[in-house]
Chains A and B, each alone.
Chain A
Amino acid sequence: MRSKKTIEKLIHTLHDTTTPEMDRNILTDVAKAMNNKKTPSAHPPNAWRIIMKSRITKLAAAAVIIVAILLSITLLDKSVTQAYAIDQTIQACKNMRFIYFEYYTPSHRKMKEAWLEYDDRGQIKNVRVNWHWGGGKEAVQIWKQGKTQNWTKHSKKLLLFDDKIFTGKVVGFAQRYDPARAIETIQEMEKEGKVKIKIDEPSNKTCPIILTAIWEPNTFIYERYWPQMKEVFSIDQSTKLVKAIETYELEDGQYLDQGAWEYPDYNKAFDSKIFSLEDELPADVEIIDMMALDIGLEQGDMTNEQIAIKLVREFFKALIAKDYKAAIKLFYHESATEEDDIRKVLENSHVLRIISIDKTFPPPPHPTRGLLGVSCILEIEKDGQVVRWEPNDVFVGRVIGHPNRWTVNSFQDYR
C-alpha cells in the first residue's frame, strides 16, 4: 500500500526536460519580445532642461531648429516618391487561382498548411487543410463544393458531412486568407469604423512594407465574433504581394502573438490529387457519416435563445434522472464509440437539482465555443456536500452536418 507521503515523494520525482530546439525557439521569441517592449529608464535625462541651462546651447538649439525646418521644406518640395497604396497589393494578389500558405505558431512550429483553389469567377472551389499538432498527431480536412471530409490520422476517423453553415465558414476561411480578399475586407472594415489601418513604407526597398490593421473588439466577421485583433501584413516592396500575415490578440492590455501565415508561392498549380484522400486513407480508417448520426435537439420554429435554454434544461434534467442515454444524445460527439467516455464524464457530474436556467449570453470571442452561452444555477453534490453551482461555460451550438439541431458543447467548470 502506498501512503500519501510516498505519493508526494513520487510526484517530486516527476521531471520533464526541454529540448534544445524548444529552448532555442523560446529564447528567440523572448528576445524578440524584449526588443519590442519599451524599457523604462529609472531617470531619463531631461534634454530640454540641459539645453536651456546655457545661453550658448540655447542659441545653438534655435539654429538647429531653423536649419531643420528649412531643410524639410526644401526636401518636401522636391519629394516626388510614389507612396504605396493598398490597392496596389489588391491588384497584385487578385485573380489568383491557387493559393498555398503555412501557419506557424508563436513558437515557430508549422501547425497547418492550406491549399485553396478558386474557379474562373473567383469563387472558392476546393480547400485542403493539413494539421500538424505535434507528437505524431495529424489531421486533414478537404472541402469540395460543399462536401467535407475530416480525417484525423492518429484516431483513424474520417468524418463526412454536408453542411451549409460549415460551407459558409469555409468560404469565410478562404476569404480571410486570400490576401487580396483579406485586404479588401480590411479596407471595408476601415470604412465602417471597425478597423484602423497604419502603413509603414521603409525607404530601404529590400525591407517589406508593413500594413498594420487594429480591429475593434468583438467584431463579427467571417461567421464569428473576434477579440480585439492586430494583423500585421508584410508586403514585398517590388511585387506588392503579401508575404506574411502576423496576428495578435489583445489580452490584459497587451497584444499577444497568435502566430503567422506565410505565403511562399503564388499561383503555382496544385497536383490534382491534393483534393482527394483516395490514395492516402489507410484500410482500417473508421468512416463516420455525420448525416446518419441521431444527435441533438431539433430547433424547429424556436429562436436561437429558446432552443438554447430548452436544450440545456433537457440536458440537465436527463443528468438528474441519470438518463445518460438521453443526455449523451444532447451532448456533442461524433460517433457511437465516444459514448462510453462521455458517459463516464456525465456520471461524474452529480447534478441534483435545477435552480434556474433562463438566460443566454453571447459566447466570448473565440471560434469554437458555440453560438450561445446559457446561464445556469444548479445544485450538485461535490466532495460529499450539496453545493450551489453556477457554471459559466455552458455553451451550445449547432451540430455539424445537422445545422437545425443543437447540442451542449461544454460544461467543464464544475470539475
Chain B
Amino acid sequence: MLEDGLLVLKCRRGSKDAISRIYKKYKDYLLTLAKVLLHERSAAEDIVHDVFVSFAQSAGNFQLTGSLRGYLATCVANRARDRLRTAKRHPENLYSAEQATANTGDPQQKAIEAEQVVRLRDALNQLPYEQREAVILRVKGRMKFREIARYRGVSISTIHGRYRYGLEKLRSLLNSEVQ
C-alpha cells in the first residue's frame, strides 16, 4: 500500500518509470478481471489499455483515496460494463459486425487452460453481469463489500445478495457438470 502511494505520488510528478511499475504490478491482475467480466481476450486487452492510458492522462491530478488496486479494478469494471452495453446495441450502421462477433470464446486459449478453469470461466459467463462483477471483485479483486457497494452506488446488502446468489449459482452450475 505504501509502495502504491509513493508510486502514485511519483506519477503525479510525471514519472514514467512509476507508471510503468504500476502497470507491471497490476497488468495481469486487471487483465484477468477484464477477461472474466467480458469473456473475451481482445476486448479485455483493450479495456486494460484504456484504463492505463486514462490513468496516465489524469495522473497529474490523481488523488488516491482508497487502494490503488481497488481503484484500478473499479475502472476495469466500469469500462467492461460500458463495453457490454455497447455490445448489445443495435447494429444499424457500418459497425454491425461488432455485435455478431461479441462473446464467443477463443478455442486456442481454452485448450491450454485446465479443464476446471475452462468450466469455471464458462460458468462465470452464465452469471448475470452484476453477480459476476460482485463475485470477481470480491474474490479476485479482494475488495470489501463496502468498497464494491460504494463504487456501484448501491447498498452493501445488495452487493451481499449479488455475491451470495452468484456464488450459489456457480456452485450449482459447476456441481451439475460434475454429475
Of residues 85 to 133 in B, which have CB atoms within 8 Å of A's CB atoms? 85-86, 88-101, 104, 106, 116-117, 120-121, 124, 128-130
Set of chain A residues within 8 Å of B98, measured between Cβ atoms: 131, 133, 368
Q: Contact check: which of A37, A334, A366 meets B86 at CB < 8 Å? A: A366
User: With the chains together, A286 CA to B56 CA distance in Å?
Assistant: 45
User: With the chains together, A348 CA to B169 CA distance in Å?
Assistant: 14
Cβ of A205 under 8 Å from chain B: no
- B23 & A368 in contact (Cβ 8 Å cutoff): no
Set of chain B residues within 8 Å of A157, measured between Cβ atoms: 100
Q: What's the minimum C-beta distance from A397 to chain B, rounded to whole angstroms? A: 5
Cβ of B49 under 8 Å from chain A: yes
**Most chain A Cβ neighbours within 10 Å, of B46, B89, B97:** B97
What is the 8 Å Cβ interface bit string for chain A, positions 7-35, against chain B (1 contact, 0 not)? 11011111111100011011101110110
Cβ of A208 under 8 Å from chain B: no
User: With the chains together, A30 CA to B19 CA distance in Å?
Assistant: 8
Q: What's the minimum C-beta distance from A400 to chain B, rounded to whole angstroms? A: 6
- B56 & A30 in contact (Cβ 8 Å cutoff): yes
The interface-forming segment of A47-55, A85-93, A134-142, A306-314 is A134-142
- B16 & A31 in contact (Cβ 8 Å cutoff): yes
- A18 & B175 in contact (Cβ 8 Å cutoff): no
Cβ of A155 under 8 Å from chain B: yes
Decide: A25 near B49, CB < 8 A? Known: A383-B161, A397-B92: yes
Decide: A29 near B97, CB < 8 A? Known: A254-B57, A412-B84: no
User: With the chains together, A12 CA to B27 CA distance in Å?
Assistant: 16
The interface-forming segment of B32-40, B66-74, B145-153 is B32-40
- B54 & A256 in contact (Cβ 8 Å cutoff): yes
Q: What's the minimum C-beta distance from A113 to chain B, rounded to whole angstroms? A: 13
Q: Contact check: which of B16, B27, B117, B167 meets A13 at CB < 8 Å? A: B117
* CB nearest to A133 among chain B residues: B101
User: With the chains together, A26 CA to B45 CA distance in Å?
Assistant: 9
User: With the chains together, A164 CA to B40 CA distance in Å?
Assistant: 34
Q: What's the minimum C-beta distance from B176 to chain A, rounded to whole angstroms? A: 11
Cβ of B170 under 8 Å from chain A: yes
- B93 & A141 in contact (Cβ 8 Å cutoff): no
What is the 8 Å Cβ interface bit string for chain B, positions 30-61, against chain A (1 contact, 0 not)? 01100110001110111011101111111111
- A17 & B95 in contact (Cβ 8 Å cutoff): no
Cβ of A393 under 8 Å from chain B: yes
- A106 & B57 in contact (Cβ 8 Å cutoff): no
- B61 & A154 in contact (Cβ 8 Å cutoff): no
Set of chain B residues within 8 Å of A141, measured between Cβ atoms: 94, 96-97
User: With the chains together, A410 CA to B101 CA distance in Å?
Assistant: 17
User: With the chains together, A154 CA to B104 CA distance in Å?
Assistant: 10
User: With the chains together, A15 CA to B28 CA distance in Å?
Assistant: 7
The interface-forming segment of A166-174, A192-200, A232-240, A297-305 is A166-174
- B60 & A38 in contact (Cβ 8 Å cutoff): yes
- B56 & A139 in contact (Cβ 8 Å cutoff): no
User: With the chains together, A26 CA to B170 CA distance in Å?
Assistant: 33
User: With the chains together, A352 CA to B175 CA distance in Å?
Assistant: 31
- B14 & A166 in contact (Cβ 8 Å cutoff): no
Of residues 330 to 367 in A, which have CB atoms within 8 Å of B's CB atoms? 332, 334, 348, 366-367
Q: List 17 A-B contacts (CB under 8 A).
A: A4-B171, A13-B117, A14-B120, A15-B28, A30-B52, A30-B56, A34-B56, A40-B60, A42-B13, A106-B50, A107-B45, A107-B46, A155-B100, A223-B93, A368-B95, A410-B85, A412-B129
Residues in chain B within 8 A of chain A (CB atoms): 12-14, 16, 19-20, 23-24, 27-28, 31-32, 35-36, 40-42, 44-46, 48-50, 52-61, 84-86, 88-101, 104, 106, 116-117, 120-121, 124, 128-130, 135-136, 139-140, 161-162, 165, 167-168, 170-171, 174-175, 178
Q: 12 new A-B pairs (CB below 8 Å) besides A139-B97, A256-B50?
A: A8-B139, A10-B116, A11-B140, A16-B28, A31-B56, A40-B60, A40-B61, A105-B46, A154-B101, A332-B90, A367-B95, A410-B85
